[in-house]
């Protein structure tokens, strides 16, 4: 006999049938049952709301209502305990409908006997325990699935997305209806995508492969992708994960540039010291020589020496200023005003190249702790580069501000020539330039200024399409 009593609710409006069913329960001496009789449909509904029974047995005929209706009510009340339906002989359609709705089993009243009842109860309890375990496991893993910060997805073998979590919506920028049945392969950039996807389809698991994801807004995100083929009921599908590493890569790149900038600054200061000492001697010697010369034609050459000494000294000063940014004072200022001032400073160049300016500012006032003078220089460096990259009469400069997560962002986009993959890795390096003229210190200075504002820069570019600089500042 079982130690734990099994509470059974029997719903039957015929007392004689209840007594017959009760007698069958009494004959099950290996079980410990506590049987409660419920003679009406309405009373049964009250008992269902308490959910205090371990097993329910419903008669099909219950006056104006029937056991199928009561079964539906029980399922609507989130009843997870097993339900057995009692039917009359020849009611196979009723039995099939009950099983389809969620009944654990059915019994024919006229054929009811202890052995059949025991087998049905045992089956119903075991089946329900299995289903409960499955539901609990599903709830547990569904919660992990939904709360993951990574994009988790299930797709068919062709990349059509069948299921995904909320992080997928945040990462891709697509709304749920747009993302469902969308093609993951169309969101991933690169000619190698189809090749490694075919490898996954062939059963080769993918582990932390770096990929580029193109969001709905056209932004490129760097992700680590893991994927594998799974099989359920002979159906093959792909499940995977995309872990966003865009910020990490950006931070690593900025740290590398900062380290290079620091090394370069030390080198410049050392060279400046070593060059200026002999340069001073050359200049003084030229002045002394000039004072002793009486022939004006000969003085022409000493003046050339002096002019070039002055020029070299000015170049050294300029290099030192770029390597040692001035101190900044952060004060609450209107970001939109600083942007407008930078655009005003570039007005003549914009007009000369007949470039259109499209401003899409956030509707709210964006006030940040910033140094307006230095930040304007940083913005102007980016704007001037964009102007030089665009064709005369066809250029469009788009300046956007927005709140994104916990940041305020400034996006400066052009439709110019774009930047090659090789140059993208070097654009912030001091003294690197792709221009025929220029010292290559503009973007290095810009990076230094943005970092001094506790901000960061991300650059996305495609040759022949254009470039987008995104400046992010923490609130």
Q: How far apart are CA 105 and CA 113, in angstroms?
A: 15
Among 91, 41, 39, smallest CA distance to 67 is for 41
- Percent of the chain scoring above 90 in pLDDT: 24
Residue 14 has pLDDT above 70, yes or no: yes
SS3 66: strand
Q: How far apart are CA 321 and CA 98, in angstroms?
A: 84
SS3 206: strand
- What is the chain's percent helix, strand, coil content, to nearest 5? 50, 25, 25
For the chain, the farthest-separated pair of C-alpha atoms sits apart, in whole angstroms, at 142
Please tell me the predicted confidence (pLDDT) of residue 318.
65
Sign of the dihedral defined by the CA atoms of residues 43, 45, 51, 55, in that order? positive
Residue 157 has pLDDT above 80, yes or no: yes
CA 222 centroid distance within chain? 10
Please tell me the predicted confidence (pLDDT) of residue 379.
93
Residue 448 has pLDDT above 70, yes or no: yes
CA atoms within 13 A on the CB side of 37: 14
Describe the strand order of the beta sheet including 220-232 as a list of residue ranges: 161-164, 151-155, 235-244, 220-232, 206-214, 188-189
Among 324, 327, 317, 328, smallest CA distance to 262 is for 324
Q: Which CATH class is domain 148-244?
A: alpha beta
Please tell me the predicted confidence (pLDDT) of residue 390.
93
Specify the higher pLDDT residue, 94 or 51: 94
**DSSP for 244-296, written as a single string:** E-HHHHHHHHHHHHHHHHHHHHHHHHHHHHHHHHHHHHHHHHHHHHHHH---H
Kindly list the domain boundaries of the chain, sorted by start residue.
Answer: 6-144, 148-244, 248-323, 331-474
Question: Residue 374's pLDDT band (boundaries 50, 70, 90)?
Answer: confident
158: Cβ contacts below 8 Å, ≥ 6 apart: 183, 185
Please tell me the predicted confidence (pLDDT) of residue 470.
92
Strands 83-87 and 105-108: parallel
Residue 1 has pLDDT above 50, yes or no: no
Token pair for 413: 């986009």
Can you name the residues that pair with 243 across neighbouring β-strands?
224
Please tell me the predicted confidence (pLDDT) of residue 227.
92
Rounded to the nearest integer, the mean pLDDT of the chain is: 85
Cβ 372 vs Cβ 333: under 8 Å:
yes
- Classified by CATH at the fold level, domain 331-474 comes out as Heat Shock Protein 90 (3.30.565)
Strands 466-474 and 407-414: antiparallel
Ranking 20-34, 250-264, 352-366 by mean pLDDT, the lowest is 250-264
Q: Among all chains, which residue has been given the structure tokens 């300046």? A: 399
Specify the higher pLDDT residue, 405 or 201: 201
**DSSP for 298-361, written as a single string:** HHHHHHHHHHHHHHHHHHHHHHHHHHSPPP---EEEEHHHHHHHHHHHTHHHHHHTT-EEEEE-
CATH of the domain spanning 6-144: 3.40.50.2300
pLDDT per residue as tens digits for the range 382-418:
999 999 999 999 999 999 999 887 889 999 999 999 8
**In whole angstroms, how large is the CA radius of gyration of the chain?**
39
- Percent of the chain scoring above 70 in pLDDT: 93
pLDDT per residue as tens digits for the range 73-112:
888 888 888 888 888 776 778 888 888 888 888 888 888 8
Q: Select the highest-mean-pLDDT range: 228-237, 283-292, 375-384.
A: 375-384
Among 381, 392, 357, 394, smallest CA distance to 439 is for 381
Specify the higher pLDDT residue, 188 or 75: 188
């Amino acid at each position: 006999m079982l130690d734990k009593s099994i509470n059974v609710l029997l719903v039957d409006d015929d007392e004689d049938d209840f007594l017959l069913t009760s007698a069958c329960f009494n004959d099950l001496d290996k079980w410990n049952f506590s049987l409660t009789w419920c003679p009406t449909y309405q009373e049964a509904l009250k008992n269902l709301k308490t959910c205090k029974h371990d097993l329910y047995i419903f008669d099909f005929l219950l006056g104006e209502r029937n056991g199928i209706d009561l079964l539906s009510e029980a399922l609507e009340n989130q009843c997870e305990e097993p339900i057995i339906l009692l039917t009359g002989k020849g009611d196979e359609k009723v039995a099939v409908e009950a099983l389809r709705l969620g009944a654990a089993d059915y019994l024919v009243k006229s054929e009811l006997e202890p052995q059949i009842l025991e087998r049905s109860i045992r089956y119903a309890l075991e089946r329900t325990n299995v289903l409960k375990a499955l539901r609990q496991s599903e709830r547990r893993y569904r919660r992990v699935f939904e709360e993951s910060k990574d994009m988790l997805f299930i797709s068919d073998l062709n990349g059509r997305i069948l299921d995904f979590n909320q992080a997928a919506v945040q990462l891709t920028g697509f709304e749920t209806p747009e993302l469902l049945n969308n093609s993951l392969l169309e969101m991933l950039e690169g000619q190698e995508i189809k090749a490694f996807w075919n490898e996954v389809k062939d059963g080769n698991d993918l582990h932390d492969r770096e990929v580029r994801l193109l969001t709905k807004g056209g932004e490129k995100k760097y992700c680590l992708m893991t994927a594998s083929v799974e099989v359920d009921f002979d159906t093959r599908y792909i499940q995977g994960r995309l872990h966003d590493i865009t910020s990490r890569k950006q931070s690593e790149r900025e740290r590398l540039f900062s380290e290079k900038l620091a090394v370069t600054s030390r080198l410049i200061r050392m060279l400046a010291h070593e060059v200026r000492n002999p340069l001073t001697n050359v200049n003084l010697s030229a002045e002394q020589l000039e004072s002793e010369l009486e022939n004006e034609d000969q003085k022409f050459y000493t003046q050339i020496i002096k002019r070039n000494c002055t020029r070299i000294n000015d170049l050294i000063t300029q290099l030192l200023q770029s390597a040692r940014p001035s101190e900044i004072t952060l004060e609450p200022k209107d970001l939109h005003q600083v942007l407008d001032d930078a655009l005003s400073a570039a007005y003549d160049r914009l007009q000369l190249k007949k470039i259109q300016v499209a401003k899409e500012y956030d509707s709210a006032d964006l006030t940040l702790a910033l140094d307006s003078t230095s930040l304007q220089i940083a913005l102007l460096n980016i704007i001037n580069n964009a102007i030089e990259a665009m064709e005369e009469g066809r250029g469009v400069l788009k300046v956007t501000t927005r709140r994104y997560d916990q940041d305020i962002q400034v996006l400066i986009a052009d439709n110019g020539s774009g930047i090659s993959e090789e140059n993208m890795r070097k654009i912030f390096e001091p003294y690197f330039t792709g221009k025929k003229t220029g010292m290559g210190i503009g973007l290095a200075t810009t990076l230094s200024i943005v970092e001094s504002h506790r901000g960061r820069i991300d650059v996305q570019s495609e040759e022949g399409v254009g470039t987008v600089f995104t400046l992010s500042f923490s609130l």
